[in-house]
Amino acid sequence: MQQRLLRIVLLLGMLLGPVAAAHAHPKAARRYLKQLKKSTQPNVSSAEAERNAQNCFVNGVTALLLNKPQQAYTALKRALQLAPLNAAIHFKMAQLLQQYPQLVQENSVVVNALTHIYVAIALAPDNIFYYLNAVSMHTSQGNYRQATQVYEQMLQRIPPTDDLLSQLANLYIAQKDYRQAIRVYNQMEQRSGINLMLVHQKQHTYLAMNDLDSAVEEGLKLIQAYPSIEVYVLRLVQLLMENYQGYRAIPYLQDDLAAHPGHAQSQGYLAYLLLEQQD
């Protein structure tokens, strides 16, 4: 479920396009939040204000569902006036401004979608939906560095899962920051142990760094963990052959056949490579 949510949020970031004021910074959100904390509603009890805010919030969400963005904006704006420190209202306003950027010009909006989502995060720092929405906004603009910062901040509050860590590694790879991606993959390995998919991701990343030796080491770790699985040996052989160093696979094949004489494909590869060495 969490993996599906993560992919949907990141996909929405690509589909919805850029949000207004793309260069909004968390500092702007902190300044805005400071202003909000000074906001007051004279002559209105806090309970009454909260009740009215909830009604406006529901009206805003309903208008958004009915594709009436201006009505949604008016209702949510009023909700924020009544309950300026309500994280859910800021979150919904951020989504609205992201989905309908024309509202910014039509209403002379000063506080943009990113600022609202950063305020929501500050008010509810353990809500994964808010972080992922901020990530989607940044990735929609190609701002992977900012998206990565939000992700790292999220993982200081939200317990990491392999799905979350995998997406963080993807963000680093999008920036060609391969060493950080490897660091994240290593964290995944410490959590869940070695497996074929993780080894493949690390090998692909090492190859992007022109580090074939490290990619080979990852393959050897997998073979050592699962010595009876022939396909892991063959994957290492293919890796070396694809990089024009098939001769290095010969001792690995010989070791595999010494332990598992019935591995027919290993026999075939060994015969081919030995013959190639004679040419």
Residue type, 83: A
DSSP H or E stretch at residue 107? none
**CA 242 – CA 107 distance, rounded (Å):** 58
Q: Per-residue confidence at 8, pLDDT binned at 50, 70, 90? A: very low
How does pLDDT run across 242-262, given as a tens digit for each residue?
999 999 999 999 999 999 999
Residue 11 has pLDDT above 50, yes or no: no
Could you tell me which of 181, 188, 109, 118 has the C-alpha nearest to residue 146?
Answer: 118
- The residue whose two tokens read 């920051």 is 177
Could you tell me which of 110, 181, 101 has the C-alpha nearest to residue 144?
Answer: 181
How does pLDDT run across 193-221, given as a tens digit for each residue?
999 999 999 999 999 999 999 999 999 99
Which pLDDT belongs to residue 277?
Answer: 87
Per the model's pLDDT, the better-predicted residue between 1 and 17 turns out to be 1
List CB contacts of 81: < 8 A, sequence separation 6 or more.
39, 41
How does pLDDT run across 99-145, given as a tens digit for each residue?
998 898 777 777 789 999 999 999 999 999 999 999 999 998 899 99
Distances (CA, A) of 92 to 75, 117, 277: 11, 9, 66
Residue 25 has pLDDT above 70, yes or no: no
Read off the pLDDT of each residue in 213-235 and give the average, rounded to a whole number: 96
Backbone dihedral region of 163: left (phi > 0), alpha (psi from -120 to 50 degrees) or beta?
alpha
pTM of the model: 0.81
Residue 24 has pLDDT above 80, yes or no: no
How does pLDDT run across 38-48, given as a tens digit for each residue?
765 555 557 88
Which pLDDT belongs to residue 112?
Answer: 87
Distances (CA, A) of 82 to 86, 94, 121, 227: 9, 17, 19, 65
Which pLDDT belongs to residue 40?
Answer: 55
